[in-house]
């Protein structure tokens, strides 16, 4: 047991899964000798060599496209797309092929592969380095979309994603990479994909968040307890798709009120699907409309104005108060 | 300092062994055993006759849109013949003849083009990918397969097909680049059939050949007469041998011609002349191969009839297949069905129970003709 930040925790998952399965290979830009621009693959090239930790040419479509071929052959590639903002150059390989090969071949082939991508803002970065695009992947049948919220969940979910027989999009919040350290057990730990976690129990309102927004939700919950005497239940979604509707509905059946927080822009985003699933699963318990606290529907804002764009605890508290007063 | 030429230092060869006039270059003639020659010619005839039958089936509304191969039989059979069963074949969407050679049953292909996904399922022992429709996107898969085979130390060569239009796509260039850098056992077969729907080669590229594109990625490219079975085979055999012996990728440009439509939804009279088509009909790969076999006394009597009977039996098997169970649409999305798909499946099951949908074969309306279909006669043969 040691205290690790998210980068080290992810690195540990990669190391242990590569040790236990020689079909696991890593491919991406700068993932080898350099250890990845965020150092998530640090030292793996030295340990496993360049044929398993592949420094690829700079071409996202072929990184995913060749990984699809490797997966069809039976390897378990882990692809790193350097920033999620660059994944549109391989989006067709993800949607047209990784997500569909099982259906197209009627089960003869499948793509056991993980697509790791740093996402999200709050790191004073340029355009294409700060966006959150989980909604695109969550919409695609055949893909799983996972977003851990801290070192321990990152490590356990990455191990599960690598072992999952279906393609998993694995978003890593850049803002969380070095944000905090957590106790991470030495022995291999996995977590079920598709299952949300109750991060904090409460009876008055449900806050649903994931990734870097979990800490925003936690902060808001604390403010609401201290200033309003409200007990907020916080759900850490962990998997955006397939959505754990059961956990969400059970919570809202109890609280009657829900606020969804995400960094992706609002229109047609995960908040809309979560709100719809609450309508289906907890309609008769609802005391107020489901609110969404999200980024605005603008293409990008530049980091100088990011503080108004990315949800913070004050916005969540305000939305929660509106919901409670409804 | 003076400018010092460093590149290019390359050549592009054009290979022709048996030309359209029937002249044979005996020095280059590959030594193909008579039994194989008979099988190859039969495969070409099967490709042609099935193609023609499929066009009729499409016109009758019994299958949907597909991409005919007419004119490209030599390019496909000559190349795929160089593979072993244990090698991998990665088609685009116009490789019916090559797919038949690789063991796809005719009725399965008909099934695929009749809109049934089970037609795209390769047999468990078949090292073939199903067809890929987005142009050039299958090429990185071929490179990945070859990388994985090399990683595992398997004696495997991957052959990937694409057309001239694909050479404009980013995925083509990325695949070639990765193949070159990784030095993997892959052979790219570009069937340059001169037209990407309505776009002629001269609007597709300013390169003198498509073969030379390989040189930019550090491996050889060769242009062959794609309607010459012997030339295609000779080049493919050499490329496959190179790949097998660790000498890396090769690109083979087969210069051929799509004698028919792009797909059954296309009308080529809008964009190309009858004279051009007629000129290429004189270079048809089939009569050329037939004359070659005739000279060697290898032609079997009644071959066409045998092939037609094989097709007729397959069409019958296809038409008597049980209806597809609609509930199977949820079977191959994930390894295990998540809750939302279980719920959607239950909803469909209830719907089917309450109001069973009409079987598709109870009524076969003719498809709405696509623009121009009735004006063209080229496919109606």
- Give me the numbers of helices (H) and strands (E) for chain A, helices first please: 13, 14
Q: For residue B6, is it within any domain?
A: no
- Assess whether pLDDT exceeds 60 at residue A146: yes
pLDDT at residue B11 in the model: 86
CA distances from residue B244 to A309, B77, B131, B153 in whole angstroms, order as listed: 56, 20, 24, 11
Contact B143 A92 (CB under 8 A): no
To the nearest whole Å, the CA of B143 is away from the closest chain A CA by 6
Q: Is this complex scored with an ipTM above 0.95?
A: yes
Q: Are residues B306 and B334 in the same domain?
A: no
> Is B217 considered catalytic here?
no
To the nearest whole Å, the CA of B126 is away from the closest chain A CA by 10
pLDDT at residue A24 in the model: 98
Nearest to B162 by CA among B252, B70, B65, B284: B252
Nearest to B71 by CA among B238, B288, B275, B266: B288
Q: Are residues B208 and B355 in the same domain?
A: no
Q: For residue A13, is it within any domain?
A: yes
Q: For residue A11, is it within any domain?
A: yes
Q: Are residues A239 and A296 in the same domain?
A: yes
Q: Are residues A41 and A125 in the same domain?
A: yes
Which positions of A are annotated as active-site residues? 129
Q: For residue A189, is it within any domain?
A: no
Confidence of residue B22 (pLDDT cuts 50, 70, 90): confident
Q: Is A262 exposed, middle or buried (0-12, 13-18, 19+ CB in 10 A)?
A: buried
Q: Which chain A residues are within 8 Å of B143, Cβ to Cβ?
A: 62, 65-66, 69
Instruction: Kindly report the average pLDDT of chain B as a whole number.
Output: 93
CA angle A149, A154, A158 (to 5 degrees): 140
Q: Are residues B136 and B204 in the same domain?
A: yes
With beta carbons less than 8 A apart as the criterion, state whether B318 and B110 touch.
Answer: yes
Nearest to B151 by CA among B143, B140, B161: B143
pLDDT at residue B372 in the model: 43
Q: A230-261: per-residue pLDDT in tens?
A: 999 999 999 999 999 999 999 999 999 999 99
Q: For residue A151, is it within any domain?
A: yes
With beta carbons less than 8 A apart as the criterion, state whether A192 and A211 touch.
Answer: no
Q: For residue B4, is it within any domain?
A: no
Separation between Cα atoms, residue A30 and residue B5, nearest integer Å? 32
Q: A104-115: per-residue pLDDT in tens?
A: 999 999 999 999
Q: Are residues B171 and B306 in the same domain?
A: yes
Q: For residue B8, is it within any domain?
A: no
Strand partners, B222: B252
Q: For residue A100, is it within any domain?
A: yes
B242: domain CATH number is 3.40.50.970
Q: Report the number of distinct structural domains present in chain A.
A: 2
Q: Are residues A105 and A144 in the same domain?
A: yes
Confidence of residue B368 (pLDDT cuts 50, 70, 90): low
Q: Are residues A178 and A205 in the same domain?
A: no
Structure tokens at B77: 């059979």
Q: Are residues B81 and B113 in the same domain?
A: yes
Q: Are residues B174 and B298 in the same domain?
A: yes
- Where is the domain boundary, A161, A183, A205? A183
Nearest to B189 by CA among B231, B252, B249, B138: B252
Q: Are residues A314 and A214 in the same domain?
A: yes
Q: For residue B324, is it within any domain?
A: no
- Assess whether pLDDT exceeds 60 at residue A188: yes
pLDDT at residue B5 in the model: 84
Residue of B nearest to A70 (CA): B144
Q: Are residues B86 and B46 in the same domain?
A: yes
- Assess whether pLDDT exceeds 70 at residue B371: no
Q: For residue A190, is it within any domain?
A: no
* B153 interfaces chain A, CB cutoff of 8 Å: no
* B140 interfaces chain A, CB cutoff of 8 Å: yes
Q: Are residues B341 and B241 in the same domain?
A: no
Q: Are residues A297 and A213 in the same domain?
A: yes
Write the CB contacts of A314 (distance below 8 Å, at least 6 apart in sequence). Answer: none
Q: Report the number of distinct structural domains present in chain B.
A: 2
With beta carbons less than 8 A apart as the criterion, state whether A100 and A142 touch.
Answer: yes
Separation between Cα atoms, residue A37 and residue A81, nearest integer Å? 11
A83: domain CATH number is 3.40.50.970
Quote the domain boundaries for residue A47.
3-183
Prior bond of B13 cis (ω within 30°):
no
Separation between Cα atoms, residue A241 and residue A210, nearest integer Å? 12
A289: domain CATH number is 3.40.50.920
CA B201 to chain centre: 19
Confidence of residue B365 (pLDDT cuts 50, 70, 90): low
pLDDT at residue A148 in the model: 98
pLDDT at residue B237 in the model: 98
Q: Are residues A29 and A90 in the same domain?
A: yes
**Quick one: what percent of chain A has pLDDT higher than 70?**
100
Q: For residue A188, is it within any domain?
A: no
Strand partners, B189: B161, B252
Quote the domain boundaries for residue B363.
329-381
Q: Are residues B178 and B294 in the same domain?
A: yes
Confidence of residue B355 (pLDDT cuts 50, 70, 90): low
Q: Are residues A23 and A141 in the same domain?
A: yes
């Amino acid at each position: 047991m040691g205290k690790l930040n998210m980068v080290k925790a992810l690195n540990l998952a990669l190391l242990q899964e590569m040790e236990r399965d020689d079909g696991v290979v890593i491919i991406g830009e700068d993932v080898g000798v350099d250890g990845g621009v965020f150092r998530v693959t640090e030292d793996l090239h030295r340990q496993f060599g360049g044929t398993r930790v592949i420094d690829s040419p700079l071409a996202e479509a072929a990184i995913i496209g060749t990984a699809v071929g490797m997966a069809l052959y039976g390897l378990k590639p882990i692809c790193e797309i350097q920033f999620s903002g660059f994944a549109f150059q391989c989006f067709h390989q993800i949607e047209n092929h990784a997500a569909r090969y099982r259906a197209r071949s009627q089960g003869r082939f499948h793509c056991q592969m993980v697509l790791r991508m740093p996402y999200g803002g709050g790191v004073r970065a340029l355009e294409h380095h700060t966006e959150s695009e989980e909604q695109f992947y969550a919409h695609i049948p055949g893909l799983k979309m996972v977003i851990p919220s801290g070192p321990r969940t990152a490590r356990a979910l990455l191990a599960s994603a690598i072992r999952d027989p279906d393609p998993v999009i694995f978003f890593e919040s850049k803002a969380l990479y070095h944000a905090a350290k957590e106790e991470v057990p030495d022995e291999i730990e996995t977590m079920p994909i598709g299952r949300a976690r109750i991060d904090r129990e409460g009876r008055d309102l449900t806050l649903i968040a994931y990734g870097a927004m979990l800490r925003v939700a936690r902060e808001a919950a604390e403010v609401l307890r201290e200033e309003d005497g409200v007990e907020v239940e916080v759900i850490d979604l962990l998997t955006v798709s397939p959505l754990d509707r059961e956990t969400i509905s059970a919570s809202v059946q109890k609280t009657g009120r829900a606020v969804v927080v995400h960094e992706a822009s609002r229109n047609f985003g995960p908040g809309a699907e979560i709100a719809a699933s609450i309508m289906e699963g907890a309609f008769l318990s609802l005391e107020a409309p489901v609110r969404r606290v999200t980024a605005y529907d603008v293409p990008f804002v530049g980091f100088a104005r990011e503080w108004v764009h990315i949800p913070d605890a004050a916005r969540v508290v305000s939305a929660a108060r509106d919901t409670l007063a409804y | 300092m003076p400018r010092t030429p460093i590149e290019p230092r390359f050549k592009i060869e054009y290979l022709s062994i048996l030309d359209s006039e029937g002249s044979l270059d005996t020095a280059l003639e590959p030594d193909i055993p008579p039994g194989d020659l008979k099988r190859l010619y039969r495969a070409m005839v099967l490709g042609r006759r099935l193609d023609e039958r499929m066009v009729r089936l499409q016109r009758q509304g019994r299958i949907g849109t597909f991409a005919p191969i007419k004119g490209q039989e030599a390019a496909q059979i000559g190349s795929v013949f160089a593979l072993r069963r244990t090698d991998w074949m990665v088609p685009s969407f116009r490789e019916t003849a090559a797919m038949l050679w690789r063991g796809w049953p005719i009725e399965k292909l008909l099934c695929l083009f009749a809109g049934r996904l089970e037609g795209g399922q390769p047999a468990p022992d078949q090292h073939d990918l199903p067809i890929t429709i987005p142009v050039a996107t299958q090429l990185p898969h071929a490179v990945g397969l070859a990388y994985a085979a090399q990683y595992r130390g398997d004696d495997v060569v991957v052959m990937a097909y694409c057309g001239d239009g694909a050479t404009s796509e980013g995925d083509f260039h990325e695949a070639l680049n990765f193949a070159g850098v990784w030095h993997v056992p892959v052979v790219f077969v570009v069937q340059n059939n001169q037209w990407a729907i309505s776009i002629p080669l001269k609007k597709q590229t300013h390169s003198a050949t498509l073969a030379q594109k390989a040189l930019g990625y550090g491996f050889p490219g060769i242009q062959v007469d794609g309607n010459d079975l012997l030339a295609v085979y000779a080049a493919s055999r050499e490329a496959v041998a190179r790949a097998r012996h660790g000498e890396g990728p090769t690109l083979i440009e087969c210069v051929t011609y799509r004698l028919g439509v792009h797909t059954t939804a296309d009308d080529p009279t809008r964009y190309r002349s009858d004279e051009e088509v007629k000129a290429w009909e004189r270079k048809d790969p089939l009569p050329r191969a037939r004359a070659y076999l005739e000279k060697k006394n290898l032609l079997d009597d009644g071959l066409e009839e045998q092939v037609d009977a094989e097709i007729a039996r397959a069409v019958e098997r296809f038409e008597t297949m049980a209806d597809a169970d609609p509930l199977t649409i949820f079977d191959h999305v994930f390894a295990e069905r998540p809750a939302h798909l279980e719920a959607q499946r239950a909803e469909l099951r209830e719907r089917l129970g309450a109001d069973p949908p009409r079987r598709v074969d109870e009524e076969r309306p003719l498809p709405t003709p696509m623009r121009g279909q009735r004006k063209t006669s080229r496919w109606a043969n």
